[in-house]
Chain A
């Protein structure tokens, strides 16, 4: 269980990182929480690791025109701690589910998204919030929306010589509410199935976005505005959370049937995953709606 030998470099600037990345056989190491196990099991043998942790410009966590810009070396635990990150509540709801404290101490937000595990929480959050990925290489910088970023299990549109230098999350606005939930055999394990939800309410109109993970090779986003509206017709516009959840439960099995397209594995069959998504979706969409209404009324009373 020891990694094979590799060359090691720890550049101090983004320019040096991308210059090194253009070399054949190079891999970025950020937190190492996904990469080191791969190396230890000799599932991967990169010729060179580029440690990006000395690059000051990649360590930024800052608000930038209504968005939170998260640099490539920002660790998950820092994101849980710093007040500035509270502007993106869905990330904060999801982070406690990412592995364990000990893993989040080192693992980065961008590393998780670059790694693109189909069961990972943060790629789903990025997809649900329509975050923007900033890719940097010697050829320049390009921005890719989360919807286009994930192409398959552990695969993204990032080229081997591209660095995910930042992920930009939109900051929550008044009238937005969020929900997040997952089911795993043990806390900290990758989820069998999970959901991230954003609901927007404004003067009677509602829209709801549900992103499911662990159920396909990429996060699957479904617009569930129609289902939410149908449920609200039954309950009225100010339901309690349990009432709304019951009303939604009539609609979520249909959503789950569309979202779950994995063939299943030894951990859970597709049928079981559909039931999990159905229950989680009803629970978290109702939670998101109730908190969206609360945020809307707080805004109005201001």
Chain B
């Protein structure tokens, strides 16, 4: 067992340094000793999957794993956990590949409002890993550390029992742990409340060796191909001019050239009431007449983003160019919670706007987009919603067709 290192006395108005591993990401925090683990996770690291109910140990909403054992995050001061490994519900699985417990809760309707679900998932994960032979009759006692106001518990017990029987002694581990950038909303006021990849300071003076992408699956994956009227040669001209290319990116602004294909920039996005302003860096890894590969990372007070983007242009028979953009985007913090699918839709829209701008730039237009203007909030959202409505109507009509 790892003991924490001793720590010198810290006055009540000072911050204490603490190093944790959260869902596979090493984080270094500096916070007042009275901040609980639940607040540190939610406010300082943006991991709001850990819920907070009573804040005094009764309800179990805040249950997380500490060194593999379930514990109440509201009853731990984060500073006590130096060197500990924390797993939260975010680490358990991800939407396209849920942990068997998450899948089972869904299948058995083990949740209504869902407020207690992270607590039940972490508590039952702990139970099934440490007591794999647990019998159904014992589940109500064993799961008594978490309260539910909605379900009446029966479906929760069904869900856990199902997984217990299916995976006796061999419950899969947390499926979504790896290196991430974690950013919370208090990071601005608390010094060093950033993850290991703290290279991304507000205005980095030095560029990093490389932009490291988190392990695991991206939050969103985009693959859009747009048809451009311009020919491959004209598109090659845009691909050869990074400044021009940047102007085609909606809301983006190139602020500094750092040399050796490194750039610093800003990207602003406005969506409904949300305003995000990312500052960050980008590295062009490959730049040819028909292909550009780049990595970028940025952060906003609402969260962080990292991406690998591949753009390729191919000639289309009969004239014009097909511009394909593939991007793996990793989001963290509040923006990640903003809805994976909506974020995906919005990003796709942005690439389509980008493609149109590239087309205009290739055709020789001076100002392909109004560089620093955030992409029209309304137009983006309206287009996204229109897409949704169309898809929905399509689904309705095809279902109708089946019935007939």
Contact = CB atoms under 8 A, between A and B. Distances in A.
Contacts of A2: 34, 36, 39, 55
Contacts of A87: none
A293 B71 CA distance: 39
A9 B34 contact: no
Main secondary structure of the interface of B (DSSP, over half): mixed
Contacts of B33: 5-8, 49
A149 B63 CA distance: 34
Which one of B1, B39, B77, B79 has the greatest number of beta carbons of chain A within 10 Å? B77
A206 interface: no
Main secondary structure of the interface of A (DSSP, over half): loop
A112 B365 CA distance: 75
Interface residues of B, number: 45
Interface string B117-148: 00000010011000000000000111011100
A11 B3 CA distance: 12
Interface string B201-239: 000000000000000000000000000000000000000
A1 B55 CA distance: 6
A59 B3 contact: yes
Nearest to A32: B75
Contacts of A59: 1, 3
Contacts of B3: 53-56, 59
A106 B71 contact: yes
Nearest to B35: A2
B85 interface: no
Given A37-B75, A106-B66, A101 B6 contact: no
Interface string B73-94: 0111101101000000000000
A74 to B, nearest CB: 10
Nearest to B75: A36
Given A10-B7, A102-B123, A188-B144, 17 more contacts: A2-B55, A4-B34, A7-B9, A8-B9, A8-B16, A9-B8, A10-B5, A36-B57, A37-B57, A39-B34, A51-B80, A54-B3, A54-B6, A54-B7, A56-B3, A102-B146, A103-B145
Interface string B144-183: 1110000000000000000000000000000000000000
A101 B7 contact: no
Interface in A82-101: 99-101
Interface in A10-24: 10-12, 16, 20
Contacts of B39: 2
B4 A10 contact: yes
Contacts of B142: 101
A3 to B, nearest CB: 4
A54 B33 CA distance: 16
5 contacts: A7-B33, A10-B80, A39-B34, A51-B79, A102-B145
A3 B57 CA distance: 13
Contacts of A8: 7, 9-10, 16, 33, 77, 79
A151 interface: no
A40 interface: yes
A106 B12 contact: no
Contact of B4 (A53, A106, A188): A53
Nearest to A50: B9
B55 A7 contact: no
Nearest to B57: A37
A54 B145 contact: no
A105 interface: yes
Contact of A105 (B1, B36, B69, B82): B69
B1 A102 contact: no
Contacts of B71: 102, 105-106
Interface in B1-36: 1, 3-13, 16, 32-34, 36
Given A53-B80, A187-B144, A5 B5 contact: no
B275 interface: no
Nearest to B140: A187
A41 interface: yes
A41 B76 CA distance: 14
Nearest to B8: A9
Interface string A50-82: 010111100100000000000000000100000
A252 to B, nearest CB: 26
Given A6-B12, A33-B57, A188-B145, A54 B72 contact: no
B7 A103 contact: no
Which one of A1, A4, A8, A54 has the greatest number of beta carbons of chain B within 10 Å? A8
A48 interface: yes
Contacts of A32: 75-77, 80
B368 interface: no
B84 to A, nearest CB: 10
Given A5-B12, A8-B16, A36-B75, A101 B126 contact: yes
B145 A29 contact: no
A300 interface: no
A193 to B, nearest CB: 19
A37 B12 contact: no
B9 A102 contact: no
Give the 7 A-B residue pairs with the shortest CB-CB distance, closest first: A100-B145, A12-B6, A8-B33, A1-B55, A5-B12, A105-B69, A37-B56
A302 interface: no
Nearest to A188: B144
A32 B56 CA distance: 11
Contacts of B77: 3, 8, 29, 32, 36, 49
Contacts of B16: 8
Nearest to B123: A102
Contacts of B11: 7
A54 B57 contact: no
A102 B34 contact: no
A5 B76 contact: no
A103 B70 CA distance: 8
Contact of A101 (B4, B13, B32, B70): B70
B60 interface: yes
A55 B123 CA distance: 29
Given A7-B9, A54-B4, A101-B70, A40 B55 contact: yes
A68 B60 CA distance: 32
Contact of A77 (B4, B69, B75, B76): B69
A9 B60 contact: no
A267 interface: no
